[in-house]
């Protein structure tokens, strides 16, 4: 594993208690960062935080948060700043749900709304509260890296997943808009659009949908969470210095644009 330099950086990873978020947190810790996990699952959050802290004492914090609620995100931001001496250098908007599968006209409106709320409104609210901290930066100079975990579904639109696809397409558009707004402030905003990874989210999908996603990948396998984490680590680093408002593909050849 190549060690990307994140020494001394403070990173918030949403949905960090498991899956892709946990892999990103582990990679960031291995690169020297201090990591704050934001998650709605308090039990799993405490368990994951304790496990990570054993290998990185003093560099792991946790914060229970409902990302779709503005007041909850504001409180989580305040608690994080209090714990880290007023710093958030990196924000990874990873938390997300699939919302299950079904045709557009069969999906329940409440499920459609909840999927968009978690996958798009959540990242917007996190950016709303964290971006001003980054713009101010240490000593008022400004510094930040925002990494949004989107999906190839947001680029291509998966059948029987219109709610998920639309939410990730919205996250890609948010990345492009926010990246342009912050382009001169040393706060870079990029998205990762992975193919499916075999995580707990698979439990929300029908087997035929999983088979469909695998059949679309020329490499013939799902992406590993560690591969996504490696790309996230570079995007979160100072080495990423001239890329913003961009979408980085990691789909095993499925998406080539």
Decide if 257 is catalytic. no
- Give a yes or no: residue 187 inside a domain: yes
Burial class (CB in 10 A: 0-12, 13-18, 19+), 89: buried
Return per-residue pLDDT of the chain as tens, 257 residues. 788 999 999 999 999 999 999 999 999 999 999 999 999 999 999 999 999 999 999 999 999 999 999 999 999 999 999 999 999 999 999 999 999 999 999 999 999 999 999 999 999 999 999 999 999 986 678 999 999 999 999 999 999 999 999 999 999 999 999 999 999 999 999 999 998 887 776 667 778 888 888 998 999 999 999 999 999 999 999 999 999 999 999 999 998 77
Q: Report pLDDT for 232.
A: 98
Q: Report pLDDT for 225.
A: 95
Q: Report pLDDT for 187.
A: 98
Q: What is the CATH number of the domain that holds 222?
A: 3.40.50.720
* DSSP category for residue 14: E
- Give a yes or no: residue 5 inside a domain: no
- Give a yes or no: residue 85 inside a domain: yes
- Give a yes or no: residue 158 inside a domain: yes
- Give a yes or no: residue 205 inside a domain: yes
pTM of the model: 0.94
Give me the number of domains the chain comprises.
1
Q: Report pLDDT for 138.
A: 64
Q: Report pLDDT for 2.
A: 85
- Give a yes or no: residue 138 inside a domain: yes
- Give a yes or no: residue 2 inside a domain: no
Q: Report pLDDT for 196.
A: 84
Checking 60-64 for CB contacts under 8 A at 24+ apart, the result is: 60/25, 60/29, 60/34, 60/35, 60/36, 61/34, 61/35, 61/36, 61/37, 62/36, 62/37, 62/38, 63/36, 63/37, 63/38, 64/38, 64/39, 64/40
Q: Report pLDDT for 212.
A: 86
- Give a yes or no: residue 115 inside a domain: yes
150: domain range? 10-250
Assign residue 118 a region (left: φ > 0; alpha: ψ between -120 and 50; beta: otherwise). alpha
> Which one of the listed residues 143, 164, 212, 257 is annotated catalytic?
164
- Given a contact cutoff of 8 angstroms between Cβ atoms, the answer to whether 93 and 123 are in contact is yes
């Amino acid at each position: 594993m190549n060690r990307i330099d994140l020494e001394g950086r403070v990173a918030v990873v949403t949905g960090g208690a498991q899956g892709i978020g946990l892999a990103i947190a582990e990679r960031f810790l291995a690169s020297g960062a201090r990591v704050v996990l934001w998650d709605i699952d308090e039990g799993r959050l405490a368990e994951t935080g304790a496990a990570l802290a054993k290998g990185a004492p003093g560099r792991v914090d946790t914060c229970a948060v409902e990302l779709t609620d503005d007041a909850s995100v504001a409180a989580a931001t305040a608690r994080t700043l209090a714990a880290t001496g007023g710093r958030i250098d990196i924000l990874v908007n990873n938390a997300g749900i699939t919302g299950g599968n079904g045709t557009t006209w069969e999906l329940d409106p409440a499920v459609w709304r909840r999927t968009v709320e978690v996958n798009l409104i959540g990242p917007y609210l996190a950016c709303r509260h964290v971006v001003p901290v980054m713009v101010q930066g240490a000593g008022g100079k400004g510094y930040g890296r925002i990494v949004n975990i989107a999906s190839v579904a947001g680029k291509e639109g998966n059948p029987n997943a219109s709610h998920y696809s639309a939410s990730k397409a919205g996250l890609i558009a948010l990345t492009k808009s926010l990246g342009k707004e912050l382009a001169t402030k040393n706060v870079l905003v990029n998205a990762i659009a992975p193919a499916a990874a075999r995580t707990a989210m698979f439990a929300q999908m029908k087997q035929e949908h999983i088979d469909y996603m695998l059949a679309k990948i020329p490499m013939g396998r799902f992406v590993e969470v560690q591969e996504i984490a490696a790309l996230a680590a570079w995007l979160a680093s100072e080495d990423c210095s001239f890329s913003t408002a961009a979408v980085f593909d990691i789909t095993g050849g499925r998406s080539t644009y």
